[in-house]
C-alpha cells in the first residue's frame, strides 16, 4: 500500500515530530497544512504554506506585519466591519469601545498584516490581570481576529497567530484567553478552560420564595463614577482585576448597563446585557438584595425569566441562585493557553496548597516537588481546564489524580 506521504509527487518538506500534518479541503483538491503542525510552523516552511501535488503554495510570505498607529484607526474599523459583516459604521468602536480607541496605548495593541499597503488581516492583544483566589496572573486577551474576505484560506490568519504568539512570549504573559473556533485555535495551544454556571431564574419562583422582598433604592452607575461597584465586585473569588481606568473603559460598552441597589440588608449591583433578552452576565452583593434586583429588572423589562452567569463558587449568592433557579448548567469560559508554565506554576502554587490542604500523607508536599516544566504543564492544563478528569495523567503523575480544576472565571463584561 502506498504511504500517505508518497501520494503527491515531488519533494515534501520534512515535518518535525510524529504523525502527519492536518489536512483541509479547499474545493480544488487536497492540501496538507504545514504551518500549524503541533501548534508551530517548521523552521524551513513559511507560515501560510500548503502542499498540493508536490508544490508549496506560499500565499502569506509576502505580507508586511506592523503594529497599528493612530492613522490606521478608521481604516481598521472599516476593515473589521467588512470582515464581520456588521450593520452600520464603526460597529466595533460602539460596541467594543473598551478596546477600540484611536489613542495610545489602545491602538498599539493591534497587529496588522498588509498586502500591497492595504490591511489584509489583523489581530489584537489586550492585556489584563486575572485573579484566581489569591493568585494574580498576567493575561493576554486575543480578539478582533480577522482576515480580508477575499483573501481567506491563504494563510493570513496562521501568520498572524504565529506573530501573536511571538508577541506573547516577548510580553512575558502567564496566560492567554480567547473565544473562537476551538478546532482552529487548538492547533496553536489554546483549549477549553475555566468554569461558569448559567442559572435560569423565573420571576414566579422568585416571588414564591421572596414573599416579603426588601425595599430597594436603585440607581444607574454614572459614567463619572464608573468604579462605584468596585467594592462589591471584589467579592468575586475569581475574575479580571479592575482598576478605575478599566471601570471607565468598560462604561464605553454600549450593550451593558450597570445598576446598584441598596436595602436595609445591604447593597448589590447587576450588569444587564441589553443585546440578549433575559441575559444577566454579572451580579454580586447581599443575596436577598441581589435577588430583589433581579425581580425588579424582570418586572421592568417584562420578562418572565432571566439567565444569570456566575462563577463556579460556594459563596452566599451562589447558594441563593442555586436555590432559586429552575435549572443550572455549567459551561467552560472559552479557551485559555498557558504561555509561561513556570511563572504560572509559581503564582498558583499557594492557591493549590490552600485548596488541597486536606490531602493526606505525602501528597501535602508533593506539589512542591514537581520540578519538570512538562509535568507542571500537564497539571496546569487540569487546574485551569474545564473537565475534572482531563487531561489524563501519565503514570508518574497518577498520584495527583485528586486534583480538580480551580474554576477560574471572567465576566462577559470584560471579554474582548
What's the pLDDT tens digit per position in 128-155? Answer: 999 999 999 999 999 999 999 999 989 9
Phi and psi angles of residue 166, each rounded to the nearest 5 degrees, phi first: -65, -40
pLDDT at 265: 95
Question: Cell 484607526 appears where?
Answer: 73
Q: What is the pLDDT of residues 70-128, one digit of tens each?
A: 999 999 999 999 999 988 789 999 999 999 999 999 999 999 999 999 999 999 999 99
d(CA 116, CA 111): 16
- Overall CATH class of domain 64-191: alpha beta
Distance of CA 359 to the CA centre of its chain: 31
Residue 7 — very low, low, confident or very high, per pLDDT cuts 50/70/90?
very low
The pLDDT > 90 percentage for the chain reads 75
The mean pLDDT of the chain is 87
Alpha helices in 133-286 (DSSP H): 156-171, 182-185, 203-209, 230-233, 244-250
Tell me: pLDDT of 240 over 50.
Answer: yes
Taking 60 as the threshold, does the pLDDT of residue 173 lie above it? yes
Length in residues, the chain: 416
Please report, rounded to a whole number, the percentage of residues in the chain having pLDDT higher than 70: 84
Burial of 21 (0-12, 13-18, 19+ CB in 10 A): buried
pLDDT value at position 195? 97
Please say if the pLDDT value at position 57 is more than 70: no
Question: Between residues 28 and 275, which one has the greater pLDDT?
Answer: 275
Confidence at residue 37, expressed as pLDDT on a 0 to 100 scale:
36
Distance of alpha carbon 340 from alpha carbon 25, whole angstroms: 34
- Position 55 pLDDT exceeds 80: no
Residues of the chain with CATH 3.40.630.30: 64-191, 196-331
Comparing 200 with 59, the larger pLDDT belongs to 200
Give the other-Cβ count within 10 Å of 271's Cβ. Answer: 25
How many whole angstroms separate alpha carbon 206 and alpha carbon 368? 47
pLDDT at 345: 98
The upper half-sphere exposure of residue 111, i.e. CA atoms within 13 Å in the direction of its Cβ, equals 22
The pLDDT value given to residue 212: 84
Q: Tell which wins on pLDDT, 206 or 211.
A: 206
- For the domain made up of 196-331, give the CATH fold: Aminopeptidase (3.40.630)
Predicted confidence at residue 9, as pLDDT, reads 42
Q: Name 139's bridge partners.
A: 128, 175
Task: Tell me the sheet residues that pair with 43.
Answer: none
- Using alpha carbons, select from 313, 273, 235, 318 the residue that is nearest to residue 413: 273
Amino acid at each position: 500500500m502506498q504511504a500517505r506521504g508518497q501520494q503527491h509527487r515531488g519533494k515534501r518538506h520534512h515535518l518535525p515530530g510524529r504523525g502527519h500534518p492536518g489536512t483541509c479541503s479547499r474545493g480544488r483538491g487536497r492540501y496538507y497544512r504545514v504551518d500549524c503542525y503541533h501548534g508551530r510552523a517548521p523552521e524551513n516552511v513559511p507560515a501560510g504554506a500548503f502542499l498540493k501535488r508536490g508544490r508549496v503554495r506560499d500565499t502569506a510570505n509576502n505580507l508586511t506585519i506592523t503594529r497599528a498607529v493612530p492613522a490606521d484607526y478608521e481604516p481598521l474599523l472599516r476593515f473589521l466591519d467588512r470582515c464581520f459583516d456588521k450593520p452600520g459604521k464603526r460597529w466595533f468602536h460602539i460596541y467594543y469601545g473598551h478596546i477600540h480607541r484611536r489613542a495610545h496605548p489602545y491602538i498599539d495593541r493591534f497587529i496588522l498584516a498588509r498586502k500591497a499597503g492595504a490591511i489584509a488581516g489583523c489581530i489584537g492583544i489586550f492585556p489584563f490581570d486575572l485573579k484566581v483566589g489569591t493568585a494574580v496572573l498576567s493575561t493576554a486577551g486575543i480578539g478582533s481576529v480577522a482576515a480580508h474576505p477575499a483573501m481567506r484560506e491563504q494563510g493570513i490568519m496562521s501568520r498572524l497567530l504565529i506573530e501573536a504568539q511571538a508577541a506573547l512570549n516577548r510580553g512575558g504573559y502567564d496566560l492567554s484567553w480567547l473565544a473562537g473556533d476551538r478546532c482552529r485555535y487548538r492547533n496553536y495551544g489554546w483549549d477549553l478552560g475555566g468554569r461558569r454556571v448559567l442559572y435560569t431564574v423565573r420571576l414566579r419562583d422568585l416571588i414564591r420564595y421572596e414573599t416579603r422582598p426588601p425595599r430597594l433604592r436603585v440607581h444607574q452607575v454614572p459614567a463619572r463614577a464608573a468604579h462605584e461597584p468596585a467594592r462589591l465586585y471584589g467579592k468575586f473569588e475569581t475574575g479580571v482585576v479592575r482598576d478605575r481606568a478599566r471601570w471607565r473603559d468598560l462604561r464605553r460598552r454600549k450593550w451593558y448597563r450597570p445598576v446598584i441597589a441598596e436595602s436595609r440588608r445591604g447593597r448589590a449591583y447587576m450588569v444587564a446585557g441589553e443585546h440578549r433578552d433575559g441575559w444577566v452576565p454579572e451580579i454580586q452583593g447581599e443575596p436577598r438584595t441581589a435577588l430583589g434586583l433581579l425581580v425588579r429588572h424582570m418586572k421592568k423589562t417584562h420578562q418572565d425569566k432571566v439567565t444569570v452567569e456566575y462563577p463556579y463558587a460556594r459563596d452566599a449568592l451562589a447558594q441563593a441562585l442555586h436555590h432559586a433557579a429552575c435549572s443550572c448548567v455549567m459551561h467552560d469560559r472559552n479557551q485559555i493557553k498557558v504561555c509561561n508554565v513556570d511563572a504560572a506554576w509559581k503564582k498558583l502554587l499557594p492557591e493549590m496548597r490552600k485548596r488541597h490542604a486536606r490531602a493526606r500523607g505525602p501528597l501535602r508536599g508533593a506539589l512542591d516537588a514537581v520540578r519538570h516544566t512538562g509535568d507542571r504543564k500537564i497539571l496546569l492544563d487540569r487546574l485551569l481546564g474545564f473537565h475534572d478528569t482531563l487531561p489524563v495523567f501519565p503514570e508518574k503523575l497518577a498520584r495527583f489524580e485528586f486534583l480538580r480544576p480551580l474554576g477560574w472565571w471572567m465576566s462577559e463584561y470584560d471579554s474582548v
